[in-house]
Amino acid sequence: MPLYKRVDGQEQPHWPLGPFKIRLPFVHYRWELPEMIQGFFMFVVGLAMIPLLQTYLGMPYEAALAFTFIAGIGYILPGLLGVPLVPGWITPAIPVVLLYLKGFEPGPEAIKAMFALQIEVTLIFLFLGITRLGSKLVNAIPNSLKSGVIIGAGVAALMGELKVGGRIDTTPISIIIGSLVSAYVLFSLSFKNVIQNNPFAKQIANFGLVTGMIIAIFVGWAVGEYPLPDIQMGITQPDFALMWNYLVFANGLPSYDVFLLAIPTALIAYVIAFGDIIIGFTLVKRVDHIRQDEKIEENVDRVHLVTAIRNGLHAFFAPWPGLSGPLFTAVHATVAERYAMGKKSMESIYSGGGTFWISGMIALFMLPLVTFFKPVLPIALSLTLILTAYICILVGMEQLKNSTERGVAGIVAITLSMPDPKSTLYAVVIGLILYFLLERPKLLGKHDGENSILDSEENSKEKTAS
């Protein structure tokens, strides 16, 4: 039981610290066993960044493993500082970041480029968090451009897996089966009906992505797509001394032109991340009314500030192609669903998210677990990217309101997904040009909301059908 107990209907106990609210396990919230078990499996998603670190930043496994410990500290910070969202990467932005990194030689050049990008993401979140301008900026971005970026990021993620020499090409059976199982558990309407009458299915749903990942791993071993693990006993010992050679302190600061080249990717990453913030709080609102015993604070500014701290930590001590994002969608959705079951199932929204990532950090020190998952790290990354692609395309399409927006978004998405390091810049420029040329009734002056001929015809058909 925690040291402090929540007054019914009030916020979870905390220690105030400026704009933050400190919460510790066993002091301010109880330890949740289901989230601990899930953390011992899903920590492997953090390890899945290691292949990208090796490929795009040119570092050895031992140094990349040390980077994951820095990431582990960052995952803990939101729950510690008063954010009710389970954090993760800016996952839909990964393909865009990789396109950007392809313009640099793996090694010192790529490390400098990644530092430039991540420090710019840090400054964007910090500035918008302090000034509280985040929502105003995103609302000012044309809907077609935002949706096109989200859809394009999803397409790029999927194409990266489907391309010749990609992970689906080299290990098709395990990844395809794992993706189908994960998609069925997370998104299937028929499975949701099964959950209502089957307690075992409900338990499977509670663990989200874990089921598909475990099945994919054992299928991969069974068909010989991945080698069996060399399980070692003991405590993980990351090589922090070697890690130092892959930081900006040892390689120097990037040049001015690298900072300029990183700006479009940084802006796109922020737009995607803000969408994650909206999704995260939407999931909380869906269950908040069920739990009258706890008041959950929705503070977007605090999310911005904590995300800025995490990205700054990465920029200097562990440049991270996944960036630091406000939401691990699949896990946060699972936590929210369990939270809705009542106080006996989960004491607080903070106890669920806090327990999950603290358990994930503990798992990093457990050498048997790390060595068990080491041969199959690409599976975790592939499943994450494939499911993210589905969600990006789904959410991006839902946000488009008319045929003109859909056309502009489609062009932006195709441009963004092209295998060119400057495709992000081209996509933004093309999207803005098309917005002013096609969507606005007047090139200059206030937008009066009139529709194009195609949109008017579409609306007429909808009215006739209704």
Question: What is the pLDDT, as a whole number, of residue 307?
Answer: 97
pLDDT digits (tens, 9 = 90+) for 140-159: 788 888 888 888 878 888 88
Digits of tens for pLDDT over the chain (466 positions)? 788 899 988 999 999 999 999 999 999 999 998 899 889 988 888 888 998 999 999 999 999 999 999 999 999 999 999 999 999 999 878 888 988 999 999 999 999 999 999 999 999 999 999 998 876 776 778 888 888 888 887 888 888 888 877 788 888 999 999 999 988 888 888 988 888 888 888 778 777 778 888 999 999 999 999 999 999 999 998 899 999 999 999 999 999 999 999 998 998 888 888 878 877 887 888 788 888 899 999 888 999 999 999 999 999 999 999 999 998 877 888 888 789 888 888 999 999 999 999 999 999 999 999 999 888 888 888 888 888 788 788 878 888 888 989 999 999 999 888 877 677 778 888 988 998 888 887 766 665 544 454 554 455 555 455 4
Kindly write down the DSSP assignment for every residue of 179-241, as one continuous string.
HHHHHHHHH-HHHHHHHHH-HHHHHHHHTTHHHHHHHHHHHHHHTTSSPPP----SB----HH
Question: What is the pLDDT, as a whole number, of residue 64?
Answer: 94
Q: Are 137 and 304 in contact (CB under 8 A)?
A: no
Q: Half-sphere exposure of 94 toward its Cβ, with a 13 Å CA cutoff? A: 29
Would you give the distance in Å from CA 295 to the centre of its chain? Answer: 26
Euclidean distance between CA atoms 225 and 216, whole angstroms = 10
Question: What is the pLDDT, as a whole number, of residue 130?
Answer: 92
pLDDT digits (tens, 9 = 90+) for 53-70: 999 999 999 999 999 999
| Type of residue numbered 98 | L
Helix locations, 318-447, DSSP H: 329-339, 349-364, 367-373, 377-399, 403-416, 423-434
Helix (H) or strand (E) holding 164: none
| Type of residue numbered 148 | G
Residue holding tokens 């932006």?
412
Question: What is the pLDDT, as a whole number, of residue 21?
Answer: 96
Question: What is the pLDDT, as a whole number, of residue 463?
Answer: 47
pLDDT digits (tens, 9 = 90+) for 318-340: 999 999 999 887 788 888 878 98
Residue holding tokens 């939401």?
327
CB under 8 Å to 239, separation ≥6 — which residues?
A: 62, 63, 65, 66
